[in-house]
Amino acid sequence: MLLRMLSGLLRRKPAAAPPADAAGDALAQWQRAVREHPRDPVARSNLCSALNEQGFHEEARREGAEARRLAPRLAAAHHNFGLALLGLGRPEEAERALRRARRLAPGLPQVASALGHALRDQGRFDEAMAAYDAALRLDPKLGDAVINRASLLLLRGDFMRGWQAYQQRFEALGAASRSEDRVAAPWRGEPLAGRTILVHGEQGVGDEVMYASCIPDLAAQAGKLVFRCSDRLAPLFARSFEGVQVRGVGEARGGEPRPDFQADIGSLPRYLRTSLNDFPAGRSWLVPDTRRLERWRGRLARLGGRARVGISWRGGAPGTRGPLRSKCTTWVSPGWPRSRPMSFEPTPFGKDSTYRNSLFQLSTSSQILPSRASQ
């Protein structure tokens, strides 16, 4: 834990919080510690960290700022404050805070990795790569640096090295690969003619949709392909991938051919997307439900001459910058013509109405249609 590594930076003993079993418990406990010891900078810094983990970045920024004021030489305070600024989409300010933390604690790999994030978010890729490399020299197994360095290689178009580095994602994310059940040998690009391959979905539904662009290419090589995916996506993939046996992970197993190979879906691009030319150009790999398509066409036709705007309201989770990715009011350019009526169609997953309500502030001439899960 970062607090333990930094405990020597303060001369006095910080307020203690009881051990927590979950992030929500940790947040409540550090909030209590700050109420009881409001001038303890370590408690403030750890509350900042707990708030960041829950996605409350503005509240985290305030706590981090106070921790920095109370203890200007506490590296953890500058580090956690910088992470809050990154969560708020303010990488230039985050860089300044993280450089301060780096000067105070040059041996902490977490600080070097966070500095890499701030530089990457500013488009300074070479400097970001140097920061990630510095973090990994300090701790070769630091998951945050491992996964973000791999992502940066891909962002720069270095697909061969990027996908190779991405193979360490499960260890880096502290997750288990579904291919570890030893049901078949891992696929490493071997010929698949006359063979059966089992593909496992992984991570979030957005990741599965993105990597699913590889499924038609893999199916064209394989004798048979079985795809176990998120239950929510099974109907979509079943109608999109003809000849592929699609099964939701919650479905009872049985009736599937015995696989010769297996692969996690995020590992497929290592062999099928090694250059930009390998990506499908102008080809959709998903097939919509025709009944729902006609229903939506009817709804949108009733809008008349309005400009129609579709928004993906929410994405990610607190740990994957979900709050930053879900600030819908920041997606609308001030240059959009306010005099032209617009219709925003919200399609959130879940029942949170915060994002829909915020769109009413964009223009009094806009219309927001209600969204229903059944549509």
Q: What is the pLDDT of residues 240-275, one digit of tens each?
A: 999 999 999 988 777 789 999 999 999 999 999 999
Tokens of 13: 């003993």
Which pLDDT score, from 0 to 100, does residue 300 have? 82
Is the model's pLDDT at 8 over the cut of 50?
no
User: In this predicted structure, what is the pLDDT of residue 39?
Assistant: 96
pLDDT number for residue 14: 36
CATH of the domain at 183: 3.40.50
| Residue 153 sits in the same domain as residue 215 | no
Q: What's the whole-number mean pLDDT along residues 20-46?
A: 88
Instruction: Kindly state whether residue 374 falls inside one of the protein's structural domains.
Output: no
State the pLDDT at residue 98: 98
Residue 57 counted as domain residue: yes
Q: Is residue 183 very low, low, confident or very high in pLDDT (cuts 50, 70, 90)?
A: confident
For the residues 115-140, what does the mean pLDDT come to? 97
Residue 150 lies in a domain: yes
Residue 180's pLDDT band (cuts 50, 70, 90): low
215: pLDDT strictly greater than 50: yes
CB atoms within 10 A of CB 291: 8
- Mean pLDDT in residue range 306-315: 67
313-339 burial: b if 16+ Cβ within 10 Å, else e: bbbeebeebebbbbebeeebeeeeeee
Residues 30 and 148 in one domain: yes
Mean pLDDT estimate for the chain = 83
CATH number of residue 52's parent domain: 1.25.40.10
Q: Which of 252, 278, 304 is the last residue of a domain?
A: 278
Query: Between these two residues, 344 and 117, which has the higher pLDDT value?
Result: 117
Tell me, what's the pLDDT at 175? Answer: 75
Gap between the Cα atoms of 39 and 62, Å rounded? 14
Q: Please tell me whether residues 315 and 357 are part of one structural domain.
A: yes
Q: How many domains does the chain have?
A: 3
- Contact between residue 259 and residue 183 where contact means Cβ atoms under 8 Å apart: yes
283 belongs to a structural domain: no
Instruction: Please report, as a single letter, which amino acid is at residue 155.
Output: L
* Single residue among 173, 202, 230 that ends a domain in this structure: 173
Whether residue 236 lies inside any domain: the answer is: yes
Q: Burial level of 138, CB count in 10 A (0-12/13-18/19+)? A: middle
Lowest mean pLDDT among 36-45, 80-89, 335-344: 335-344
Alpha-carbon distance values, 67 to 48, 61, 159, 194, 214 (Å): 9, 10, 41, 63, 47
| Average pLDDT of span 21-43 | 88
Looking at the structure, tell me whether residues 208 and 348 fall in a common domain.
no
- pLDDT band per the 50, 70, 90 thresholds, residue 282: confident
Same domain, 188 and 250: yes
pLDDT at 36 exceeding the cut of 70: yes
Q: Of 6-15, 48-57, 276-285, 321-330, give the lowest mean pLDDT range.
A: 6-15
Answer yes or no: do 235 and 136 share one domain: no
Residues 302 and 353 in one domain: yes
Tell me whether residue 10 is in a domain.
yes
Domain end among 251, 278, 305: 278
The pLDDT of 48-63, averaged and rounded, is: 94
- Residue 328 belongs to domain spanning: 290-368
- DSSP conformation class of 349: S
Residue 64 domain-assigned (yes or no): yes
Residue 284 lies in a domain: no
Same domain, 169 and 187: no
Average pLDDT over residues 271-285: 88
- Strands of 196-200's sheet in order across: 185-186, 261-264, 196-200, 224-229, 245-248
Judge if 236 and 347 occupy the same domain. Answer: no
Query: Could you give the 3-state DSSP secondary structure of residue 226?
Result: strand
The mean pLDDT value for 84-112 works out to: 97
Same domain, 159 and 274: no
Give mean pLDDT, residues 332-354: 51
The pLDDT of residue 5: 32
Q: What pLDDT shows up at residue 366? A: 45
Per-residue pLDDT, 179: 67
Same domain for 59 and 23: yes
Residue 42 to residue 46: CA distance in whole angstroms: 6
Residues 313, 192 share a domain: no
